[in-house]
Structure 1
Amino acid sequence: MRILDRQRYWAFGKAYLTCYISFVGLWVVLDAFSNVDEFTKRTVGFGQLAAAMGQYYLVRQAEYFDRLGGVIGMMAAIFTVTWMQRANEQLAMLAAGVSTNRMIRPVVISTAMVSLLSVANQEAVIPRFAEDLQKNHSDDGASAVRVQTKPADHRGLIFSGVEADRARRTILKRFTVTIPAEIYGSIRNIEGSEAVYIPESAGRVPLRGGWLVRAARISPGDLDELTDPDGLVVKVTDVSGFPPPVGDEAKTAGDAVFVRTSATFDMMVRKTGWFQYGTMADLFRGLVDPATDRYDRADIEILIHSRVLRPVLSLTLMFMTLPLVLGGFGRNMFVNLGLAMGNSALFYGGNIICLHLGSAEILSPALAAWLPVFIFGVLATHRWSQIRT
C-alpha cells in the first residue's frame, strides 16, 4: 500500500469515527434525557439505572450503524477530500501526474467496505438482538406484552389472544383458535384460559409443534367429536408432561387439547415491522408464510430488493456527491457540507417516495426498490464524467 493511500484510509477512518460519535452521541444524550422516567420505572437506584441505560443504547449501536452508515460514509468521504484540497495535496498530486480518480480510489474503497460491514451487521448482528431492539425504554423483558397479530397457518386456522408471557412462551387471557369450515364442515372456535406453545425442538414433551390449550371448550359442538390422536386437535388427558400453567391453577383446570399448527409463539407477539430485524432467510420465509399480512408481504418484497441494492445505493450517493466537492468548492468545508446534506436529502427523499409507492402497491416491489438506482445512477454517472482529471 502506498503512503498516500494509507493517508487517505486513515483520514477516512478518522472522519467516519468523528461523525459517528457526534451524530450518535448527540442522539443518545437527547433520547436518554427525554426517556429517563421510562428507565426509572423498571430500575431501583442509580446503579441499576445506569446499567439499564447502558445496555439499552449499547444494543442499539447495531441499529444506529445500520441507519446512519450510508450518510456518515458519504460525509466522511466529503471531509477526506476537503481536507486533501485545503492542504493543497490535490494540486501537488495532479502536478505529479496522479489522476483525480486514482487519488480518491481509497475513499471509494473505504465507502464500499463500510457498505459491506453494514450488510454483515444486518445479517449477523441485528437478528441476534432483534427482540431487544424491539423493546421500548420501559420494557424489562419480563412484563407481559400485548398480542399484536392473529396469524393463520397453512390450513387457515386463526389464532388470537390478549397478553403473552415471553419468558414461558404462553398466551394469557382468552386464547382462541378459529377452525375454518373446510376442515370440520362448519366453523369451530376453541377457547381456553391459557395456551403454551410447544416447539418441535422441545424435548421430553408428549406432543410438539403446536399449542396446549388449558380449560378448553369448543363452540359449537363437543371436544370429543373433533379430537384425533393423529389429527389437528388432540385431547390431552394427562398434562403432567407439559410445562406448568402460568396463571391460577383453578382457572386453568379442566379439559386440555393440543392443536397442531405452524403458527408459532413468535408470530403471535411479533410487532409491526418485525421483518426489518430479520435475516434474508427470515424475509424469504415471511414471504411464503400464510400468516404474513398482504401489506407486510409487499414491504418484505421491497426490503429484499433494498438489501441486495444497499452497497449499490451507498456508492451511488457517494458518486453523486464527490463531484460537487471536486468541482470547485473544495476549500470551503461548510459549502461542501451543505452540498452534501442537500444532495443526501434529495437522494433519500426520492428513495422514500419510491418505497412508499411500492408499499401502497402503486409500484411493483421490484420497481420501487430499483427505480432510485436508475434515476440517481444516471445523475451520478453524469456528474462523475464532469470531474477534471
Structure 2
Amino acid sequence: MRILDRQRFWAFGKAYITCYISFVGLWIVLDAFSNVDEFTKRTVGFGQLMSAMGRYYLIRQAEYFDKLGGVISMMAAIFTVTWMQRANEQIAMLAAGISTNRIIRPVVVCSILVSFLSIANQELIIPRYAEELQKSHADDGTSTIAVLSTPYDSRGLMLSGREADRAAKTILKRFNVTVPVQVFGSIREIEGLQATYIPPEHPTAPLRGGWLIRATKISPPVPEEDLKNPDSPVVMVQDLNGFPPPVGDASKLEGDVVFVRTTLSFEAMTRKTSWYQYGSMLDLVRGLVDPSTDRTDRNYIEMAIHSRAMRPFLALTLMFMSLPLVLGGYGRNMFINLGFALGNAALFYGCGIFCQYLGGEAVISPALSAWLPLFVFGVVATHRWGQIRT
C-alpha cells in the first residue's frame, strides 16, 4: 500500500466517523429529550434512567448503521475528494501521471468495505437483537404486548388473541381458533381464556408444536371421540403434567383444556408487520414459504430478499453518481458539492421508496421493484463516470 493510498484511507475513515457521529449523535439527543418521560416510566432514579437510555441507543447503533451506512459512505467520499482538491493534491498527482481513477481507488475500496460491513450487520447483528430493536422507549420487556395479527396456518386454522406475555409465550384474556370445515365437517369456534405456545423442542410436554388452550368452549360441540383422535389437529388434554403452568390465578382457568396443533408459533402471532426488516436472509426465506404469510407481507418479503442482494450495488451506484459532481469540475466548495450529493441521494432513495410502494401494492412485481432503481440510476452513474476528467 502506497503512502498516498494510506492517506486516502485515513481521510475517508475520519470523514466517515465524523459524519456518523454528527448525524447519529444529533438524532440521539433529539430523540432522548423527546422521550425522556417514556424512559422514566420503567426506571427508578437517575442511574437506572441513564442505564436504560444507554442500552436502548447502544443496541440501536446497528439499526442506525443499516439505515445511514450508504448515505454516510457517499458523504465521506465527497468530503475526502473535496479536501484533496482544496489542498491541490489532485493537480499534483495528475501532473505526476496518476489518473483520477487511480487516485480515488482507495475511496472506492472503502465504500465497498462499508457495504460488506452493512451486509454483516444486517445478517448477524440485527437479527440477534431484533426483539430489542422493535421495543418502544417505555418497553422494559416485562409488559404485555398486543397480538396484532390473525394469521392462517397450513391447515386453514385462523388464530387470534388480544395481548400476550412474552416471557411465558402465552396469550392472555382471550384466544380464538376458527377450525375450517374440512377438519370436523363444519366450522367450529374454539374460545379460551388463555393459550400457551408449546414449541416442538419443549423438553417435558407430552404434546408439542401447538397451543395449549385453557378454559375452552367449542361451539358447536365436537363429539368426544373426535377430540381423542391423536391425528386430529384439536385434541382434548386430560393430564397437564409436563406442560408449562398457567399465567396468573389458575382458579380462574378451570374448565376443558385442548391442544391445537399448528405451524403458527408465538412469534408469528405477536410479530409486527415490519418484522422482516429485522430478520436475516434465512428468516425472510422461511417467511416467504410460510403459508400463514399473507399476500401483502409476501410481496414485501420478496422485495426485501432482492433488496438485500442489491444493497452493495445500490450503495456503489449512489457513490458513482455523486463523485463525478466533484471530480467533473463542478467546484471546490465542500458545501456545494455536498448539496449536490444530498440532492442525488434524496432522488435516489425517493425513487427506491416509490418502487417499493409499487411492489408492495402489486402494481409491479417485487423483483422489478427492487431492481428498477439499479437499472435507472446505473445508467446515470455510468454516464457521469465517463465524464470524469483524467
TM (normalized to structure 1)? 0.99
Residues 349-384 of structure 1: CA distance to partner in whole angstroms, max 9, x if unpaired?
111111111111111111111111011000000000
Q: Output the CA distance in 2 between the equivalents of 1:225 and 1:132.
A: 45
Tell me which residue corresponds to 1:18. 18
Q: Output the CA distance in 2 between the equivalents of 1:304 and 1:75.
A: 27
Query: How many Å apart are 1:255 and its aligned residue?
Result: 1.2
Secondary structure, aligned partner of 1:106: helix
Q: Output the CA distance in 2 between the equivalents of 1:223 and 1:301.
A: 43
Tell me which residue corresponds to 2:89. 89
Q: Output the CA distance in 1 between the equivalents of 2:173 and 2:49.
A: 32
Secondary structure, aligned partner of 2:369: helix
Contact 2:12 2:80 in 1 (8 A): yes
Tell me which residue corresponds to 2:73. 73
- Say yes or no: does 1:183 pair with 2:183: yes
Gaps of at least 5 residues in structure 1 are: none
Query: What are the equivalent positions in structure 2 for 1:324-335 lying under 5 Å apart?
Result: 324-335=325-336
Contact 1:235 1:258 in 2 (8 A): yes
Q: Output the CA distance in 2 between the equivalents of 1:223 and 1:77.
A: 72
Query: What are the equivalent positions in structure 2 for 1:39-58 lying under 5 Å apart?
Result: 39-58=39-58
What is the one-letter code of the residue matched to 2:76? A
Secondary structure, aligned partner of 2:287: helix
Q: Output the CA distance in 2 between the equivalents of 1:225 and 1:180.
A: 18
Q: Output the CA distance in 2 between the equivalents of 1:202 and 1:375.
A: 51
Query: What are the equivalent positions in structure 2 for 1:248-287 lying under 5 Å apart?
Result: 248-287=249-288
Secondary structure, aligned partner of 2:193: strand
- Say yes or no: does 1:292 pair with 2:293: yes
Contact 1:86 1:330 in 2 (8 A): no
Query: How many Å apart are 1:223 and its aligned residue?
Result: 6.0
Q: Output the CA distance in 2 between the equivalents of 1:157 and 1:240.
A: 26
* Aligned residues with identical type, % of pairs: 70
Residues 283-310 of structure 1: CA distance to partner in whole angstroms, max 9, x if unpaired?
1111111111211111111111111000
Tell me which residue corresponds to 2:165. 165
What is the one-letter code of the residue matched to 1:325? V
What is the one-letter code of the residue matched to 2:88? N
Tell me which residue corresponds to 1:364. 365
Query: What are the equivalent positions in structure 2 for 1:26-45 lying under 5 Å apart?
Result: 26-45=26-45
Residues 96 and 232 from structure 1, CA distance in 2 versus in 1: closer, same or farther, beyond 3 angstroms? same
Query: How many Å apart are 1:204 and its aligned residue?
Result: 1.6
Tell me which residue corresponds to 1:195. 195
Contact 2:205 2:241 in 1 (8 A): no
Tell me which residue corresponds to 1:2. 2
- Say yes or no: does 1:319 pair with 2:320: yes
Q: Output the CA distance in 1 between the equivalents of 2:124 and 2:58.
A: 16
Q: Output the CA distance in 2 between the equivalents of 1:45 and 1:293.
A: 45
Tell me which residue corresponds to 1:243. 244
Query: How many Å apart are 1:52 and its aligned residue?
Result: 0.6
Tell me which residue corresponds to 1:230. 231
Secondary structure, aligned partner of 2:129: helix
Residues 182 and 376 from structure 1, CA distance in 2 versus in 1: closer, same or farther, beyond 3 angstroms? same
Query: How many Å apart are 1:330 and its aligned residue?
Result: 4.2
Query: What are the equivalent positions in structure 2 for 1:102-117 lying under 5 Å apart?
Result: 102-117=102-117
What is the one-letter code of the residue matched to 1:378? V
Query: How many Å apart are 1:41 and its aligned residue?
Result: 0.6
Residues 88-119 of structure 1: CA distance to partner in whole angstroms, max 9, x if unpaired?
11000000000000000000010011011001
What is the one-letter code of the residue matched to 2:325? L
Q: Output the CA distance in 1 between the equivalents of 2:8 and 2:226.
A: 72
Q: Output the CA distance in 2 between the equivalents of 1:218 and 1:351.
A: 49
Secondary structure, aligned partner of 1:162: strand
Contact 2:152 2:292 in 1 (8 A): yes
Residues 145 and 112 from structure 1, CA distance in 2 versus in 1: closer, same or farther, beyond 3 angstroms? same
Query: How many Å apart are 1:226 and its aligned residue?
Result: 3.0
Q: Output the CA distance in 1 between the equivalents of 2:222 and 2:389.
A: 83
Query: How many Å apart are 1:137 and its aligned residue?
Result: 0.4
Residues 14-39 of structure 1: CA distance to partner in whole angstroms, max 9, x if unpaired?
00000000000000000000000000
- Say yes or no: does 1:152 pair with 2:148: no
Q: Output the CA distance in 2 between the equivalents of 1:95 and 1:267.
A: 63
Tell me which residue corresponds to 1:342. 343
Query: How many Å apart are 1:329 and its aligned residue?
Result: 3.1
What is the one-letter code of the residue matched to 2:306? H
TM (normalized to structure 2)? 0.98
Q: Output the CA distance in 1 between the equivalents of 2:223 and 2:274.
A: 37
Tell me which residue corresponds to 1:101. 101
Tell me which residue corresponds to 1:133. 133
Query: How many Å apart are 1:225 and its aligned residue?
Result: 4.1
Residues 236-284 of structure 1: CA distance to partner in whole angstroms, max 9, x if unpaired?
1111321111022122112111111110000110011111100111111
- Say yes or no: does 1:376 pair with 2:387: no
What is the one-letter code of the residue matched to 1:288? V
Gaps of at least 5 residues in structure 2 are: none
Structure 1, 113-122 or 288-297: larger mean CA deviation: 288-297
Residues 36-80 of structure 1: CA distance to partner in whole angstroms, max 9, x if unpaired?
000001111101100110010000000000000000000000000
Residues 56 and 17 from structure 1, CA distance in 2 versus in 1: closer, same or farther, beyond 3 angstroms? same
What is the one-letter code of the residue matched to 1:216? T
Q: Which aligned segments of 4 or more residues in structure 1 are displaced greater than 6 angstroms?
A: none
Q: Output the CA distance in 1 between the equivalents of 2:314 and 2:70.
A: 8
